[in-house]
C-alpha cells in the first residue's frame, strides 16, 4: 500500500519527518507489528519516488542531482540500480536513455514504479541479472555509454575481507571504464565502510590503468550533508565516491 507524503513546511523539515517516520515503521516491521503503510511516495523537488520502508537503502539526493546535471543527451547505464534513483534523475534531466541493471526482481519492480511515477519509463530498459556478468556482456557486445553509475551494496562489512572487496570494486570499475566513450563520465561509489576514500581512489586508479583508459578525476563524492560524519565515530562515513571522465 502506497502513501503519498506532502508537507507545507520546509523541504528540510519534510525530509526529517520522512526519515523519522520511515525509521519508526522499520522498527515496527522488525518486531512483527502490523503496519498498514508499507511504501511511501515522497517528492523531492521535481522528482517523486517510492520508498519501501522495510528495505529502503540510503537516499543520495545530492549525488543524484550532480549526476543529473551531466546527463542531458547522454546514454546512461545505471548498474546496481536498486530503485532507479540515479536513472530517474538523469532521465528527468534529459538523458537520452537509460539501461538499469540489478540482480533483485523486487528492486527492479520498485525502479519500474519510480520510472512510471516520473513519466520517463519509455526511455528506460530494465534488465535483471548479476551486474558483474552484465558489465562483461555489455563489453563483449561492444556497447558504449556516455554516462555510467556504479552504486553497489557493500562488498564487505568486515575489515578482514577488504582485499576481496577491493578486487570486486576494481573489476566493476575496469569494466565500466571500458564501456565509456571518449568524454563519457563515470560516477562510482563504495558504501563499504572499511574501504577508505584513499583506498577506493587507488582501486579506481589501478582499474583505469589496467583498462588502458585515460581518465580524469572531476570530483570526489561522499554522502549528503544531512548525513553528517562525526569525527569520533568513523563508521558514520559510510559512502565514498569519485566522478571520473574518460579523456
pLDDT tens, residue by residue, 160-201: 889 999 999 999 999 999 999 999 999 999 998 889 999 999
Alpha carbons within 13 A on the beta-carbon side of 1: 6
Residue in the structure block whose three cell numbers are 520502508? 53
C-alpha cell at 47: 522528482
Answer for the pair 184, 147: CB distance below 8 angstroms, yes or no: yes
pLDDT of residue 171: 97
Q: How many angstroms separate the CA atoms of 142 and 122, rounded?
A: 24
State the Rg of the chain over Cα: 18
Annotation says 81 is catalytic: no
Report pLDDT for 51: 56
pLDDT at residue 211, rounded to an integer? 97
pLDDT recorded at residue 227: 80
Q: What are the boundaries of each domain within the chain?
A: 1-56, 58-246
Please calculate the CA angle 90-205-84 and round it to the nearest 5 degrees: 20
Cell output for 77: 547505464
Give the integer Cα–Cα distance in Å for 86 and 118: 13
Nearest to 149 by CA among 51, 246, 242, 212: 242
pLDDT at 221: 95
C-alpha 113/C-alpha 40 separation (Å) is 12
Max Cα distance, the chain (Å) = 54
Q: Rounded distance, CA 159 to CA 177, Å?
A: 27
Please give the pLDDT value at position 231.
Answer: 84
Given this model, what pLDDT does residue 49 score?
58
CATH class of 58-246: alpha beta
Looking at residue 189, its pLDDT comes to 97
In this prediction, residue 145 carries a pLDDT of 98
pLDDT of residue 229: 83
**Tally of CB atoms within 10 A around 231:** 7
Instruction: Give the tens place of pLDDT for each residue, 88-107.
Output: 999 999 999 999 999 999 99
Query: Which residues in the chain land under pLDDT 70?
Result: 1-59
Amino acid at each position: 500500500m502506497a502513501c503519498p507524503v506532502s508537507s507545507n513546511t520546509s523541504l528540510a523539515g519534510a525530509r526529517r519527518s520522512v526519515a523519522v517516520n520511515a525509521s519508526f515503521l522499520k522498527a515496527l516491521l522488525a518486531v512483527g507489528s502490523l503496519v498498514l503503510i508499507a511504501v511511501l511516495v515522497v517528492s523531492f523537488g521535481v522528482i517523486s519516488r517510492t520508498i519501501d520502508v522495510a528495505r529502503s537503502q540510503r537516499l543520495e539526493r545530492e549525488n543524484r542531482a550532480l549526476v543529473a546535471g551531466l546527463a542531458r543527451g547522454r546514454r546512461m547505464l545505471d548498474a546496481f540500480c536498486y530503485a532507479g534513483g540515479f536513472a530517474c534523475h538523469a532521465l528527468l534531466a534529459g538523458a537520452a536513455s537509460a539501461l538499469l541493471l540489478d540482480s533483485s526482481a523486487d528492486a527492479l519492480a520498485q525502479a519500474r514504479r519510480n520510472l512510471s511515477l516520473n513519466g520517463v519509463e519509455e526511455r528506460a530498459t530494465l534488465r535483471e541479472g548479476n551486474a558483474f556478468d552484465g558489465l562483461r556482456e555489455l563489453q563483449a557486445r561492444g556497447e558504449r555509454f556516455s554516462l555510467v553509475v556504479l552504486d553497489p551494496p557493500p562488498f564487505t562489512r568486515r575489515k578482514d575481507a577488504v582485499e576481496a572487496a577491493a578486487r570486486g570494486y576494481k573489476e566493476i570499475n575496469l569494466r565500466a571504464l571500458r564501456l565509456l566513450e571518449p568524454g563519457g563520465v563515470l560516477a562510482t561509489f563504495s558504501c563499504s565502510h572499511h574501504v577508505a576514500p584513499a583506498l577506493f581512489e587507488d582501486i579506481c586508479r589501478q582499474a583505469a590503468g589496467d583498462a588502458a583508459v585515460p581518465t580524469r578525476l572531476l570530483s570526489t563524492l561522499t554522502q549528503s550533508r544531512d548525513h553528517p560524519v562525526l569525527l569520533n565515530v568513523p563508521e558514520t562515513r559510510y559512502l565514498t565516491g569519485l566522478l571520473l571522465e574518460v579523456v
